[in-house]
Structure 1
């Protein structure tokens, strides 16, 4: 009887030990399978991100979303002619082979500064509600002094005037080191499917008088008009319109 009990106990012991090993082996197999799936999923995600970054300017859209959120939570600017500013710093991805801010980066930064400006004074939401589109029709920039690596600056944006087709915007890059205007840009922001006056009246609930154009803006508008006429004549559009 004692031997039988001992044998039974021993049998149970080996059975439990075998089952424990079996469970451990099963868990190890499941863990390996889970790790393999996770590794494959990670490679798939990394491949998709690589493809996305190679085919789309992802940072541009992420920066645009950040500017939108930033302007959304800032106080509204009621004066449509008021100057607004945003801060910036020259980072490594802004540099060219000469070690200062690449000239194309100025135009990119101006895009975000205008978007921020339109968000805070209400032009962006008003144009969206009216079914209008704001597109750049012309721009010119004058570089006066380069911005160096890690140099802090601010972009000052203001509306200097408008006509029946477009807003005219001035944007200045001002170094925080000494207040020097490193670059100045003029932009013609065309209004499609609407007019600047209609958008301003929608925002301000009253008619806004356009300020007098400064002399440099008048010359620039004349240049745009002359260039447009020359290109039309070159392509034969003027003859077709007669």
Structure 2
């Protein structure tokens, strides 16, 4: 009974399933996957369970897509050793912006994969395209652009240590326009003396 009460208490105060999924993601990387190059597209697999579904139990609810992007990002950083490299040098990584476009809903019990690909970078951040792809049909159900900002760490220094990185590609048009929109939004909210001005890092887009 005590164990049940402890477990119930943990489920009340913590998102226990989130931590279980994180641990499972890390375990699968260590047990089943070889390391991948930082420029390779990485993939994790999932299925739309009733826990992921909307109120009508028909398809994945919008919030769950963002949750899955988080697991895909964790997987990418571990399988490429980027997280280990950054942590050893005293840096850290935060997701500072994401744009998610839904194309077609993922039905309940439908298997899918999330592909993560590095598409551009600057001194402070790495930018990814992440796609939700049906395992059954290959259709791209949703696509996201994600900005991951590095704290106390220079991205160019990181990438210079990877031999598979040649030159930085041209910034994709959709990413460029999105960053410009982020910058406009940030300037609307930015005022002298504001909390954003005093923050220890700045998530505003810079290109």
TM-score, normalized by the shorter chain, greater than 0.5: yes
**Number of the residue aligned with 1:30:** none
Q: How far is 1:68 from its partner? A: 0.9
The question of whether the paired residues in 2 share the 8 Å contact of 1:197 and 1:207 is answered with: no
Q: Structure 1's 193 and 206: CA in aligned 2 closer, same or farther, altered over 3 A? A: farther
Does residue 1:82 correspond to 2:40, yes or no? yes
Between the aligned partners of 2:119 and 2:52, the Cα distance in structure 1 is: 28
The question of whether the paired residues in 1 share the 8 Å contact of 2:120 and 2:171 is answered with: yes
The question of whether the paired residues in 1 share the 8 Å contact of 2:39 and 2:164 is answered with: no
**Number of the residue aligned with 1:104:** 63
**Number of the residue aligned with 1:168:** 127
Moved over 3 A (4+): 205-208
Kindly provide the CA deviation profile for residues 25-69 of structure 1, in whole angstroms up to 9, marking residues without a partner as x. Answer: xxxxxxxxxxxxxxxxxx222111111110001111111111111
Higher helix content, 1 or 2? 1
Which one has a bigger Cα radius of gyration? 1
- Larger RCO: 1 or 2 (CA < 8 Å, sep 6+): 2
- TM-score normalised by the chain length of structure 1: 0.75
Unaligned runs of 5+ in 2: 199-207
Size of the aligned set, in residue pairs, is 194
Between the aligned partners of 1:208 and 1:130, the Cα distance in structure 2 is: 23
**Number of the residue aligned with 1:224:** 182
Q: Pick from 35, 50, 58: which aligns with 1:92?
A: 50
Between the aligned partners of 2:87 and 2:59, the Cα distance in structure 1 is: 37
- Does the residue aligned with 2:190 lie in a helix, a strand or coil? helix
Unaligned runs of 5+ in 1: 1-42
The question of whether the paired residues in 2 share the 8 Å contact of 1:68 and 1:116 is answered with: yes
